Amino acid sequence: MLKEDAASATLIDELVRLAPGGGAVTVLKETRVLVVRVGDVVIKAHPPGTVERDLRSRLDAARGLPGVMLAPLALERLENLERRERPERREHPEHPVGRLVTIWPAGEALSPDDLADGTMPEDAWEEGARLLARLHATPPPRGMPQAGGPERLGKAMAELARVADSADTRQIRHVMRIRQAYQTLAGPLRAADQRLLSPGARLALTHGDWHLGQLVRHEGAWLLIDPDDLGVGDPAWDLARPAAWFASGLLDPDLWHSFLSAYIGAGGTAVSHDDPWRELDLPARALTVQLAATAVVTAMRAGSAPDEVAVALVSSCGRIVAAAG
């Protein structure tokens, strides 16, 4: 067994032991985070280096949003596991040893097949929009960190840079187009950051990484999940992923308009009723570049050609470059 596989198996075993009632084990996600369902709970190991203070603030906020966000059951730290894997590390008050783990009630999530074949519940888009509107109307609790959404673009571009040297002729064209689109965003994003610091800026409690995979049905109601990027920010970023998909031809126009209408109808404040793209344009372009970079990196690491979604997103990056002149 490879060292990485052994470490992953050990971590899964540790997570299973945290389940209060036991039950069937299913690995739901295994990337920088590990998510395992055990019976009636879902257990998530957060990325190494997660700031505990920020995570606690986000979990407390989720608990204070009944009917909007799924509330966590517990926060744990796998101290012994980290010490066994890295015995050279010592406890430090500012950088405590251990992997942060959260425990959640299991809900009925939308599967990749639901998203791909159009069999998802008809109300999913509208309910997601209404939940976001309610979230954005909630005053941010004191001490909330900044929303993590805008930082994801830089992280995606850093991942693209790590694999770019191994790109073949076709892949390097994709990489260059994504980089060119990213360069057009640097100035506008800096200006947007400065506007958020000014008095009267449009700030709200935002999810930070919203897509349909962040919805579950629990006890008969749809709820938002995954508060890892929850924080204070521009609420338009929560609508940016579906906006980017719509602009790239990946989201049916009727679904997009239903989503946007439901958001506005529920009192959503992220966009103007008369011209929602006034607020959406920049975040949607940023998400297009982020998603294109992630899709190309995924294909390169798998040794496969970019799929239709990746190609559509890269093509959209080309239009971003052309529009910038």
* Secondary structure (H, E, C), the chain: CCHHHHHHHHHHHHHHHHCCCCCCEEEEEECCCEEEEECCEEEEECCCCCCHHHHHHHHHHHHCCCCCECCCCEEEEEHHHHHHHCCCCCCCCCCCCCEEEEEEECCEECCHHHHHHCCCCCCHHHHHHHHHHHHHCCCCCCCCCECCCCHHHHHHHHHHHHHHCCCCHHHHHHHHHHHHHHHHHHHHHHHHHHHHCCCCCCCEEECCCCCHHHEEEECCEEEECCHHHCEEECHHHHHHHHHHHHHCCCCCHHHHHHHHHHHHHCCCCCCCCCCCHHHHHHHHHHHHHHHHHHHHHHHHHHCCCCCHHHHHHHHHHHHHHHHHC
Share of the chain above pLDDT 70, in %: 89
Q: Given this model, what pLDDT does residue 95 score?
A: 42
CB atoms within 10 A of CB 244: 24
Architecture of domain 3-106: 2-Layer Sandwich (3.30)
Token look-up 């309610």 returns 134
Give which of 38, 33, 31, 49 is closest to 13, Cα–Cα: 38
Is the confidence at residue 96, as pLDDT, over 80?
no
The residues near 54 (Cβ < 8 Å, ≥ 6 apart) are 145, 231
pLDDT band at 80 (very low <50, low <70, confident <90, very high): low
Tell me the β-bridge partners of 42.
37, 104
- Calpha distance 140→64 (Å, rounded): 11
Q: Output the CA–CA distances (angstroms, integers) from residue 114 to 122, 222, 313, in the order listed.
A: 11, 15, 21
Q: Are 18 and 101 in contact (CB under 8 A)?
A: yes
pLDDT band at 165 (very low <50, low <70, confident <90, very high): confident
CATH number of 127-324: 3.90.1200.10
Please count the CA atoms within 13 angstroms of the CA of 195 that sit on its side-chain side.
12
pLDDT band at 158 (very low <50, low <70, confident <90, very high): very high
Is the confidence at residue 87, as pLDDT, over 80?
no
> Residue 110 is encoded by which pair of tokens?
């939308």
Q: Are 53 and 130 in contact (CB under 8 A)?
A: no
Q: Given this model, what pLDDT does residue 32 score?
A: 85
**Burial bucket for residue 60 (CB in 10 Å: 0-12, 13-18, 19+):** middle
Give mean pLDDT, residues 41-45: 95
Q: Given this model, what pLDDT does residue 3 score?
A: 47
The dihedral of CA 94, 78, 51, 34: what is its sign? positive
Give mean pLDDT, residues 229-241: 97
Is the confidence at residue 68, as pLDDT, over 60?
yes
pLDDT band at 79 (very low <50, low <70, confident <90, very high): confident
Domain boundaries in the chain?
Answer: 3-106, 127-324
pLDDT band at 92 (very low <50, low <70, confident <90, very high): very low
pLDDT band at 69 (very low <50, low <70, confident <90, very high): very high
Q: Given this model, what pLDDT does residue 117 score?
A: 52
In tens, the pLDDT along 109-157 reads 886 666 555 556 778 999 999 999 999 999 999 999 999 989 999 999 9
Q: Given this model, what pLDDT does residue 88 score?
A: 52
- Ranking 5-14, 201-210, 267-276 by mean pLDDT, the lowest is 5-14
- Calpha distance 16→100 (Å, rounded): 14
Share of the chain above pLDDT 90, in %: 73
Is the confidence at residue 278, as pLDDT, over 90?
yes
Question: What's the order of all strands across the beta sheet hosting 221-224?
Answer: 108-109, 215-218, 221-224
Give mean pLDDT, residues 311-321: 98
Sequence letter at residue 260: L
In tens, the pLDDT along 167-184 reads 888 889 999 999 999 999
Q: Given this model, what pLDDT does residue 196 score?
A: 85
Q: Given this model, what pLDDT does residue 251 score?
A: 93
pLDDT band at 197 (very low <50, low <70, confident <90, very high): confident
Give mean pLDDT, residues 21-45: 91
Give mean pLDDT, residues 198-203: 84
Is the confidence at residue 22, as pLDDT, over 90?
no
